[in-house]
């Protein structure tokens, strides 16, 4: 017999709690950026955002940035997060240059409307980490960024004075940066060897000569460079003035004169009155060069009063009420333990992370869900899998509605081509920093979504790592049509790294390492096929294009693991895959074919060498 009194009491209590939460939430919002009046104010971005201005002495700034670098340069899986923001002006001088390193979870950015508004006379560098006397590498130099400033390179001595060094791997973007006075080097050639690096991403930047060096692969988009030194396996350029000519695979340059579609990342800045704003760059099509070469960057400016500024202690219900009330969201530096999803409901909402704000779902729900609307921008975030498996960590559009739509042939999902949603500098982790699992990291059910610098990583080292520990099937699943990925890296997932079901997809630059740790061939078998291809375009897709793809193996369990194909696509006229190659890095086993049974085998007999297919079919 049902206890109706108990159920009624429980329902009343739940309703009372909901009302209480809403009242408390409204009270909390009244003292935040949500309820600020029309007067612009200097928002409090929390204790981990350092804002410098030119009135400060170089020695004062130097002490602060050095203190943070000393903590963060080796702090790969720590919880500390920082944003170092420079107001318009000049910092450092020939007599006292400002020279500093950028460590993990550190964002360095100018607060001007243009990169020309902030100049650092000195160096902003990332160097190799030396784990032993003969093991100095940049392979783990992840999760840091530099943007929206000019570096007039000067200072330091000896080898390190010869360039500004940005020796990084994945998840370390450089955006809207102007480098003058010396070369930009993506390899730290001043340390002991072997100096390996595995980057990388540069966009909307202007530099002199660029030293690629040991960088296995790199993607440069919508920039201007004074030359490029060399290629290794997969160097890709779109819309880059001064880029080397198309020549894949010898050397391995993939070059397109323009970027078919792009949108720069939103950024925080101050106007001429010192008011904080967020600039939202416009969508560009068939573009080249930097967006800031003219008088104004195309786009719109939004007042900080349109944003709710959250901290890691902010309850997710408060965040969601702010979004429900029509606010956009700034997530200040820190780690957010989420008991529910952050729910983006309305068109043109911005979710902007500062200082690598990190989201960790605790209940198995996605960290972020987005309804099928126009123009949402999500940028500057790390999303970690949590202790309870999530079906997806970030989900755009509804998978259930998409499935029904496809099943019944309604084709009712919206056309967002004039104002697509975009994800910029969004990075996913399964394990490494914290134990966790998620079936899919990023699931896209909406049409026309634009991805711009995405790294999805099932950890191969750190906390909570093992074949049956940090479980994850896919890094990216695309069900929407006309989705574009610019700068996509997906690594170590246990099934297809990328599963692309939608029509009209396009990827420019793809980097992938297969899982290191399959314990047996039977544990990593897709039906009758050995292994799972890294990148799969499903038979439901009739059209797809991709340019500049590198897929690598390092099976490190001492077992002869075989992958039949690194990539599989339908054999239809609407498919065109340009410049795809495989490399055997180390370990055992092999990748038998590059794509659909074509391409030479990558194994220990040709380790370190590129096995290319220039065009398929």
The pLDDT tens digits for 573-602 are 999 999 999 999 999 999 999 999 999 999
Are 221 and 238 contacting, i.e. CB atoms less than 8 angstroms apart?
yes
Look-up: residue for tokens 């009155």?
273
Q: Tally Cβ neighbours within 10 Å of residue 527.
A: 5
Cα 193 from Cα 480, distance rounded (Å): 44
**CA separation, residue 164 to residues 120, 289, 293, 413, 414 (Å):** 12, 21, 22, 47, 45
3-state helix, strand, coil in the chain (%, to 5): 15, 45, 45
Q: Which residue from 589, 590, 593 is spatially nearest to 568, judged by alpha carbons?
A: 593
> Angle between the 316-324 and 4-30 helix axes, to the nearest 10 degrees?
70
Span 342-353, mean pLDDT? 99
pLDDT category at 24 given cuts 50, 70, 90 is: very low
Are 194 and 137 contacting, i.e. CB atoms less than 8 angstroms apart?
yes
Q: Which residue from 456, 537, 514 is spatially nearest to 489, judged by alpha carbons?
A: 456
Are 453 and 143 contacting, i.e. CB atoms less than 8 angstroms apart?
no
Cα 457 from Cα 296, distance rounded (Å): 36
User: Would you name the residues annotated as active-site residues?
Assistant: 513
- Written as one string, the DSSP assignment of 389-443 is -EEEEEEES-HHHHHHHHHHT---SPP-TTS--EEEEEEEEESBSS---EEEEEE
pLDDT category at 7 given cuts 50, 70, 90 is: very low
The kind and range of the H/E element at 24 are helix 4-30
pLDDT category at 295 given cuts 50, 70, 90 is: confident
pLDDT tens digits for range 359-394: 999 999 999 999 999 999 999 999 999 999 999 999
Q: Which residue from 123, 248, 132, 271 is spatially nearest to 185, judged by alpha carbons?
A: 123
Are 429 and 382 contacting, i.e. CB atoms less than 8 angstroms apart?
yes
pLDDT category at 543 given cuts 50, 70, 90 is: very high
pLDDT, the chain, mean: 93
The dihedral built from the CA positions of residue 125, 131, 133 and 139, taken in this order, carries a sign that is negative
Look-up: residue for tokens 């993607």?
219
Look-up: residue for tokens 């993939």?
254
Instruction: Please compute, for residue 134, the number of CA atoms within 13 A of its CA located in the half-sphere on the CB side.
Output: 0
Q: What is the pTM of this model?
A: 0.93
DSSP H helical ranges for 241-382: 316-324
Q: What is the chain's Cα-based Rg?
A: 24
Span 124-131, mean pLDDT? 97
Q: Give the pairing type, strands 299-303 and 276-281.
A: antiparallel
In this predicted structure, the answer to whether residue 407 has a pLDDT above a threshold of 80 is no
Q: Residue 410: what pLDDT?
A: 56
Q: Residue 398: what pLDDT?
A: 87
The two three-digit tokens of residue 443, written as one number? 């699931």
Q: Residue 294: what pLDDT?
A: 80
Which residues are registered as beta bridge partners of 580?
549, 613
In total, the chain counts a number of residues equal to 617
pLDDT tens digits for range 150-199: 999 999 999 999 999 999 999 999 999 999 999 999 999 999 999 999 99
> Which phi and psi (to 5°) does residue 494 adopt?
-95, -10
- Beta strands of 431-504 (E only): which ranges? 438-444, 450-458, 474-478, 484-491, 498-500
Cα 329 from Cα 339, distance rounded (Å): 18
The kind and range of the H/E element at 129 are strand 129-130
Q: Residue 1: what pLDDT?
A: 39
Q: Tally Cβ neighbours within 10 Å of residue 411.
A: 9
């Amino acid at each position: 017999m049902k206890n109706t009194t108990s159920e009624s009491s429980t329902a009343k209590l739940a309703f009372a709690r909901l009302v209480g939460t809403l009242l408390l939430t409204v009270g909390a919002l009244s003292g935040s950026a949500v309820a600020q009046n029309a007067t612009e104010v200097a928002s409090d971005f929390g204790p981990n955002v350092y804002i410098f201005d030119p009135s400060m002495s170089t020695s004062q700034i130097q002490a602060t940035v050095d203190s943070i670098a000393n903590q963060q340069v080796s702090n790969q899986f720590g919880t500390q997060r920082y944003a170092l923001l420079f107001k318009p002006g000049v910092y450092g001088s020939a007599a006292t240059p400002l020279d500093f390193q950028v460590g993990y979870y550190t964002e360095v950015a100018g607060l001007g409307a243009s990169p020309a508004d902030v100049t650092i006379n000195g160096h902003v560098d990332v160097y190799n980490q030396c784990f032993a006397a003969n093991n100095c590498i940049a392979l783990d130099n992840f999760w840091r960024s530099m943007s929206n400033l000019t570096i007039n390179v000067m200072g330091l001595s000896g080898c390190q004075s010869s360039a500004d060094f940005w020796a990084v791997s994945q998840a370390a973007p450089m955006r809207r940066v102007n480098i003058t006075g010396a070369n930009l080097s993506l390899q730290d050639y001043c340390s002991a060897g072997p100096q390996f690096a595995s980057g990388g991403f540069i966009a909307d930047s202007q530099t002199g000569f660029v030293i690629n060096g040991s960088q296995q692969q790199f993607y440069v988009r919508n920039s201007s460079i004074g030359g490029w030194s060399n290629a290794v396996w997969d160097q890709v350029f779109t819309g880059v003035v001064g880029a080397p000519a198309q020549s894949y695979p010898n050397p391995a340059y993939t070059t397109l004169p323009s970027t078919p579609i792009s949108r720069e990342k939103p950024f925080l800045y101050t106007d001429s009155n010192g008011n904080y704003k967020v600039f939202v760059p416009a969508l560009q099509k068939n573009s080249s060069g930097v967006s800031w070469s003219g008088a104004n960057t195309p786009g719109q400016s939004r007042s900080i009063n349109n944003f709710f500024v959250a901290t890691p202690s902010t309850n997710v219900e408060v965040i969601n009420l702010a979004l429900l009330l029509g606010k956009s969201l700034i997530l200040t530096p820190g780690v957010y333990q989420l008991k529910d999803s952050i729910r983006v409901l309305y068109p043109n909402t911005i979710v902007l992370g500062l200082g690598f704000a990190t989201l960790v779902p605790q209940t198995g729900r996605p960290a972020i869900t987005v309804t099928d609307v126009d123009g949402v921008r999500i940028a500057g975030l790390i999303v970690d899998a949590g202790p309870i498996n999530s079906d997806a960590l970030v989900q755009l559009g509804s998978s259930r509605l998409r499935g029904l739509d496809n099943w019944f042939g309604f084709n009712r999902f919206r056309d967002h081509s004039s104002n697509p949603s975009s994800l910029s500098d969004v990075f996913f982790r399964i394990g490494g920093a914290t134990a966790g699992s998620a079936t899919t990291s990023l699931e896209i059910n909406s049409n026309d979504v634009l991805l711009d610098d995405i790294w999805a990583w099932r950890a191969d080292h750190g906390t909570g790592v093992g074949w049956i520990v940090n479980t994850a099937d896919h890094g990216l699943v695309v069900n929407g049509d006309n989705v574009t990925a610019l700068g996509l890296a997906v690594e170590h997932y246990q099934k297809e790294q990328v599963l692309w079901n939608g029509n009209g997809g396009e990827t420019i630059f793809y980097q992938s390492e297969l899982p290191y740790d399959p314990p047996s061939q039977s544990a990593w078998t897709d039906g009758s096929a050995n292994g799972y291809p890294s990148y799969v375009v499903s038979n439901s897709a009739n059209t797809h294009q991709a340019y500049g793809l590198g897929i690598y193996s390092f099976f490190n369990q001492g077992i002869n693991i075989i992958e039949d194909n690194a990539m599989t696509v339908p054999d239809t006229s609407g498919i065109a895959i340009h410049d795809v190659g495989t490399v055997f890095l180390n370990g055992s086993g092999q990748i038998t074919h590059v794509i659909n049974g074509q391409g030479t085998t990558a194994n220990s007999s040709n380790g370190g060498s590129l096995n290319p297919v220039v065009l398929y079919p």
